[in-house]
Structure 1
Amino acid sequence: MDDISTGSLLLLLTLLLIISAFFSGTETAMMSLNRYRLRHLAQQGHRGAKRADKLLQRPDRLIGLILIGNNIVNIAAASLATIICQRWYGDWGPAVATGGLTFIVLIFAEVTPKTLAAHYPEKLAYPNSLVLRPLMTLCYPFVYFINLISNGLLRLMGVAHIDGNDDHLSPEELRSVVHEAGGLIPRRHREMLVSILDLEKVTVEDIMIPRAELYAIDINDDYRAIIRQLTHSPHTRVLLYRDNIDDVVGFVHLSDVLRLLTKEGQKESDKGTLLRAVREIYFIPEGTPLNVQLLKFQRAKERIGLVVDEYGDIQGLVTLEDILEEIVGDFTTGLQTPPSEDIRRQEDGSLLVDASITLRDFNRETQWQLPTDGPKTLNGLILEQMEDIPPPHTQLEVAGHRLEVVEVAENMVKSVRVNPSV
């Protein structure tokens, strides 16, 4: 070293600091890469992404390679700095070299490159992987030996083998990713994606049309009355029953009825004609999650079903359209009136609410958080809270919100007044 000029040693020290900055920045850039974007780019054929993805499949080896290179460079730089400072400051050289090099390494080889890499990981990681790949091949025996010892120590501490394929997302984490996508995904699309994830939390009871609101026809009625009800039906599928809705006959599609009536002639048609048009009923157990029911509808080639409890009693009706509307929002004329028709704003700013509205729809419209793990409608929630049928003008507080009963009829709360600001 005595034969090498101080200027040459300074140039060599500068080169070592640049290499140290390279390793430090590359480590941060590789570890800051968005793994899902990385895999997407790799599948699209991006060469830099392919190289980085392959290196990250074994992060222990990648980190080992970078730290081996970085430590060798930093130790060599410390030795050179000591020699240079001894020439300049004599016995004070080692102390000056330690303090000065620590400051220089922190600023120029650690903080600055790592901060830059954290802000622009792809711009550094992809081109730098061109250097890391051949280095990995060249230093593989040394890296393998270091990782063998390191992984052995980790196993002694109860840490399993580490690889780059454990970054799976739970539904909650995926929901957070969708929310944080921001402008990368249109707001409407984000809402649909979150709705799909929420299907497993919602059951058929939450969206079904209650049995009290079903449009159904008693097949034992007068034939002309039945035809008149079919003619004025708001739906294309109508439920038929005998005397009691629990004794269901089946669904009849109006197009089938029209075809049979046209074929046989109105003079010859009778209730037997309607019964020949009846389709078999598809039953759905209560408590079935919507994501499960959606698949069942698909496999069974069905679009409508009756929800039954453990005793076989009919609780309500669910259609394929109801489930799809949970994802994309209202797009058809459903069996229920939209929430906006159940909630009417008054002149004083209060809301007059039809108490038959489901709590999920009410919460969605008002941004409240009324409990949905019990009764499914606002009427049911009020009856549960009061443990009685309250008279009009009764006021109660639920989940921090004040409700006022406006109308009671047929043993049910019909309408409620709420103040959205309370």
Structure 2
Amino acid sequence: MDSIPLSTLFIILAILLIISAYFSGSETGLLSANRYRMRYLAEQGHKGAKKTERLLKKTDKLLSFILICNNLVNISASALATIIGMRLYGDAGVAIATGVLTFVMLVFSEIYPKTVAALYPEKVAFLSSHVISPLMKLFTPLVFLMNLIIKGLIKITGLKTEMKANHLNVEELRSIVNQSGKFIPSAHQEMLLSILDLEEVSVEDIMVPRNDIAGIDIDDDWKSIMRQLNHAAHSRVVLYKGNMDENVLGILRVREAYRLMLDKNEFSKETLIRAADEIYFIPESTVLTAQLLNFRSNKERIGLVVDEYGDIKGLVTLEDILEEIVGEFTTSTAPSIEEEVTAQSDGSILIEGSTNIRDLNKLFDWNLDTDEARTFNGLILEHLEDIPDEGAEFELNGLKVTVLEVADNMVKQAKVVKL
């Protein structure tokens, strides 16, 4: 070693530092690369992405190889720097070489290459994969031996070696959608997030309540039935006899009733009953994702929601579920959240009692409880356990609520101020 010129030693040391920087940057670039994008590019035929994906499938071997190479290079550089230091400064050169090499390696072989790799992970990963792939095959016996030793140490220490599957959960998917930025338009982001939320919402949360179902009692006089058909606000109405809860006959398409009207000889209560579709019942606890699939498999668009005792709780349609994804349709006759909520100049909010709690939570980012009540009126009655008088004030989930109007045993309107 004494016969080797100092200039040659400096050149070798510089090469070792460059190799160390390469392995440090490669480690960061490969592990920082977006695996899902790598998979997509690999499917598109990108050679660098294919190699990168193959390397990332064996992360343990990849890390072992990079660390082995990096440590070999760093130890060699340290020994070489010590020799150079002793040649130049004698025994004091050991300390000088250690200090200088530590600074140079930290800056040029660690921090700088890793920072660059973190900024451009894909480019670094693609370039590194072409070099590391053949080198890993060359060093396979050494990597295998190191992994064998490491697995033995893990077994001795009693650590679990089971790796969790690399799948995204709902919250991680939601985070990805929120961070997609300009790549996904905001309107599409909202729809994707709404789809993820369907699993947490049941038909009971979006159904038309039993009292608001448009129905026709077949026992009514003929003029009343005709009037209800002519002024029907929906394309379908529920036919029942006497009491909807006890004797539901079917769901009548208003358009079919109009067709029957053309032939007065065929237009009667009996033909209306025959023209009605069979009732499709839905358990109240059914989540929207399941019900969307049920509608498709059963080729239905509307159903009556029933509780565990078979009593009718409400009505839900395919359009109701789609509105949870894309927003309310302009053809809806139900009042929108904007019509039920009015912001005041003093910062307070006037809220109709029939307003859906989930809509309020979405609009104002509140956290009102939706477990027991669907409407703001129901939430107030549940909280107070009584029907309040007009002017009553109370606190509810960080909100100051003042009851403004009470009628028919219901809170019709209330004023809310966030505390």
Which runs of 5 or more residues in structure 2 are unaligned? none
The secondary structure found in structure 2 opposite 1:279 is coil
Number of the residue aligned with 1:286: 284
What SS does the corresponding residue of 1:376 show, helix, strand or coil? coil
2:388 equivalent in structure 1: 390
> 2:91, 2:346 → 1: CA distance?
87
Is the CA contact 1:321–1:332 (under 8 Å) kept in the aligned structure 2? no
Q: Is the 8 A contact 2:239 2:273 kept in 1?
A: no
Q: Secondary structure at the match of 1:245?
A: coil
Q: How does 1:175-194 map to 2 (within 5 A)?
A: 175-194=174-193
Tell me: CA distance 1:171–1:127, structure 2 relative to 1, closer, same or farther (3 Å): same
**Matches of residues 64-213 of structure 1 in structure 2 within 5 Å?**
64-161=64-161, 166-213=165-212
- Name the counterpart of 2:320: 322
Partner Cα distance (1:284, 1:67) in 2: 59
Amino acid at match of 1:110: E
**C-alpha contact (below 8 Å) 1:85/1:96 kept by paired residues:** yes
Residues 260, 266 of structure 2: 8 Å contact kept = no
> CA offset at residue 366 of structure 1?
3.4
After superposition, the Cα gap between the structure-2 partners of 1:206 and 1:139, relative to the gap in structure 1 and judged at 3 Å, is same
Shift of 1:400: 1.6
Identify the residue that residue 397 of structure 2 maps to in structure 1. 399
Residue among 295, 299, 302 paired with 1:301 = 299
The alpha carbon displacement at 1:308 in A equals 0.5
Query: Are 1:377 and 2:354 counterparts?
Result: no
User: Any idea what SS the aligned residue of 1:225 has?
Assistant: helix
Deviation at 1:227, TM superposition (A): 1.6
Offset at 1:249?
A: 1.0
**8 Å contact 1:204–1:290 — kept in the other structure?**
yes
Contact 1:237 1:254 in 2 (8 A): yes
- One-letter amino acid of the counterpart of residue 255, structure 1: R
Deviation at 1:68, TM superposition (A): 1.3
1:67, 1:346 → 2: CA distance? 64
- 1:234 is matched with which residue? 233
Going from structure 1 to structure 2, the CA distance change for 1:62 and 1:383 (only over 3 Å counts) comes to: same
1:404 maps to amino acid? T
Shift of 1:94: 2.4
When residues 69 and 367 of structure 1 are mapped into structure 2, their CA distance, relative to the original with a 3 A threshold, is closer
The one-letter code matched in structure 2 to 1:154 is I
Instruction: Please list the CA deviations of residues 308-333 of structure 1 after superposition, one character each: whole Å capped at 9, or x if unmatched.
Output: 01111100011111111111101242
- Supply the distance in 2 between the matched residues of 1:259 and 1:137 (Cα, whole angstroms): 77
User: Is the alpha carbon distance of 1:103 and 1:189 closer, same or farther for their aligned partners in structure 2, counting shifts above 3 Å?
Assistant: same
Supply the distance in 1 between the matched residues of 2:367 and 2:288 (Cα, whole angstroms).
Answer: 21
CA distances 1:175-215 after superposition (whole Å, capped 9, x unpaired): 11211222222111111111111111111111111011111
Q: Distance in 1 between matches of 2:406 and 2:102?
A: 80
TM superposition shift of 1:160: 4.4
Letter of the structure 2 residue corresponding to residue 141 of structure 1 = P
Residue 224 of structure 1, CA deviation: 2.2
Change in CA separation of 1:82 and 1:350 when aligned onto 2, cut-off 3 Å: closer
Q: Which whole-Å CA distance do the structure 1 matches of 2:360 and 2:107 have between them?
A: 57
SS at match of 1:244: coil
- The DSSP-based 3-state class of the residue aligned with 1:250 is strand
Q: Tell me: CA distance 1:54–1:159, structure 2 relative to 1, closer, same or farther (3 Å).
A: farther
The one-letter code sitting in structure 1 at the alignment partner of 2:351 is: V
Give the structure 1 partner of residue 219 of structure 2.
Answer: 220
Length-normalised TM-score, structure 1: 0.94
Given residue 155 of structure 1, which amino acid in structure 2 is its aligned partner? Answer: K
Distance 2:111 2:317 in 1: 59
Gaps of 5+ in 1: none
Give the superposition deviation at 1:348: 5.7
TM-score normalized by the length of structure 2: 0.95
Distance 2:75 2:354 in 1: 76
